[in-house]
Amino acid sequence: MTSAPSSVGTRARVASVLVGLLVAALPAAPVAASPGTGSAAAQAESAARHRPVPPHVVGDHTVPAYSYADAIRESVWVQTRADSDGDGVRDRVAVDLVRPREAAAAGVRVPVIMDASPYYLCCGRGNESELKTYDAAGVIAKAPLFYDNYFVPRGYAFLAVDLAGTARSTGCEDVGGPAEVGSATAVIDWLNGRARAFTADGRPVSAAWSTGQVGMIGKSWDGSVANGVAATGVPGLATIVPISAISSWYDYMRYQGVLRSTDYPGFLHSYVNGRDDDACADTLARLRADSAEETGDHNRFWAQRDYRPSADRVRASVFVAHGLNDLNVTTNQFAGWWQELADEGVPRKLWLYQAGHEDPFDVRRAEWVAALHRWFDYWLQGLRNGVMDEPRVDLETAAGVWTTQRDWPAPGTRDVRIALGGGDGVTGTLGGRGARPGQERAYVDESLTEAELVAEPSTATAGRLVFLSGALTTALRISGSPSVRLRIRVDRPTTELTARLVDYGTAERVQYGSSEGVRTLDTESCWGASTDADDACYRDTEEITEVSDHAVLTRGWLDAAHHRSLRLRTPLLPDRWYTVTVPLNAYDAVLPAGHVLGLMLGQSDPEFTETNDRDATVRVDLGRSELILPIAGRAGLPVIDDAPPVRTAPADPSAARTARDTRQVP
């Protein structure tokens, strides 16, 4: 684990942002400084104390002071620096915005909440798949989601941005790449006077109504864009709220060298493409050629789409939200980003919940809206409401059960190395005394489904190795990113290696499968003001729970030939032993006393990945292999010599075991 950074850097970033807010809030005309009046920060604070308080601010929070029905609605096109479609003209991205008319009339500049998305016309946003709609003049009439309804009356502008190559924008969508990120960055430049924008008929238009302070928000692909823009360090971006978002596109489409599915970049480009096919044919061809699908290697293409190494450039604060059981954008996406931000002292906050690929608006609605309100008021309006003095993490530990903690992973977490023992010859042990070098177990590749891999662990099943702890004598808290270190010998040049941690024990759990763990109800609730074209009411939701006898906690995959480096394959020699590490996705869970922790090892995994490297036999040297488990507190696994018998409902024998298209849309 990396130790927490000093709070000095965080305080400096916070102070810098707040001074910027104070300066941005001053009148547009310059204020002359008298000799000896002190620093720019002091002048800004003094001016702020004497300026009139706008009607949307009461104490330490904003209130709905402006009419949503009368708000200014505009559609403009911002010119970017790129010509991604190669037509000799810079790309222009469509920006549909809603802002308070009364504030504009009074000369009160407002900050911006922005959601840049590829989905506004092709696919929709939110649980109800809302699309943008326009009036007869082509001006925005309805923006998806509640952000404009709720925040515009409170003194914010809302911008819904069509990424390059999507909806009404020109250019070409390059799936997480420079054109996509640059198209959103250009909008922030325009809001700060560094880029040009035009109306539909070509007239230049400025953003003099804006303070220049921007907060980006969005779920999935939208939140991934926010991560990418933050990684550029663009001035004016004060905060981002990435929800279920990608921080490394390689890790989204490749699992440690294993393809998630074929033609993934091309599939996503085509899914959201808003241009004629011919306009972006070259971009599509480059996506397919440069992604190195034939090898699974990490290369320059993927480095451009990995935002984590640029965490040192992030100027914005970051409020992350992610489902612990998200099988679409897996949890390593938030965990890797979170750790890089922590190392750089970036001000940050985190929500983790039991659902899958969901927005917390559909998990814990009232509390989420309140949290966003306070976060944006602090970072965009400069209101000192104490949000940064609260615990950094909100965590759902079971369905509807929430707690807070100082940080994540849980403070006091340590990596514990747990030996793999031979057990009774069918089921191995976790934490056993019997593990010794030279004690081997072999398993063949049977392309098991997950249900087959984890069911009935005390029963011999070809294609897997099973290791069980003893029944826990006290509750066990796992918090962080586990991994499995294996000493292996393989009779093929490579094979896919998979690992899963399983909680064996009866409990009521969120069922996060195809439903993502959330059910849509017939009732609805309203969050903001409405018009005839754009209402603020959304159908209520609830978590789906079920009593089950076991649950998969986390999963991991590795192409064995990428065990040395993701940049280059190293084929395995059949007569040689290799040490490889299979990283598992980040997780946070409490296993109650009496439950049993299981580690399941398999090979090809047709439900989650796609590989042509099958039919291998893997031999594992148990005495030189181990599970590395991030454990919070003093509790550990009981030391045992023989695996306890564990019974579960058998796997459905009709489950398909053939490869399928595993591509999803982020």
Hunting for tokens 């992604």 — which residue is that?
Answer: 291
* Secondary structure (3-state) at 401: strand
39 is catalytic: no
- Could you tell me where the beta strands, DSSP code E, fall in 245-364? 254-255, 258-259, 317-323, 348-353
Which residues 6+ apart lie within 8 Å of 394 measured at CB? 350, 351, 352, 371, 402, 403, 404
CA dihedral 569, 573, 574, 577 (to 10 degrees): -90
Cβ contact 387:606 at 8 Å: no
Query: Residue 359: which of 251, 452, 244 has the closest Cα?
Result: 244
Which residues 6+ apart lie within 8 Å of 319 measured at CB? 239, 240, 241, 242, 348, 349, 350, 351, 371, 372, 375
DSSP 266: H
Distance of CA 384 to the CA centre of its chain: 28
**Which of the following is catalytic: 148, 326, 394, 621?**
326
Pairing status of strand 617-621 against strand 440-444:
antiparallel
Cα(274)–Cα(131) distance, integer angstroms: 14
Question: Residue 188 belongs to what H/E stretch?
Answer: helix 178-191
Q: Phi then psi for 505, rounded to 5 degrees? A: 160, 145
220 is catalytic: yes
Cα(629)–Cα(432) distance, integer angstroms: 15
- Could you tell me where the beta strands, DSSP code E, fall in 491-611? 496-510, 518-526, 537-543, 545-559, 578-583, 587-591, 596-602
362 is catalytic: no
**Which of the following is catalytic: 117, 169, 183, 220?**
220
**Which of the following is catalytic: 56, 269, 298, 357?**
357
- Could you tell me where the beta strands, DSSP code E, fall in 118-206? 133-134, 140-142, 157-162, 197-198
Residues marked as catalytic: 220, 326, 357
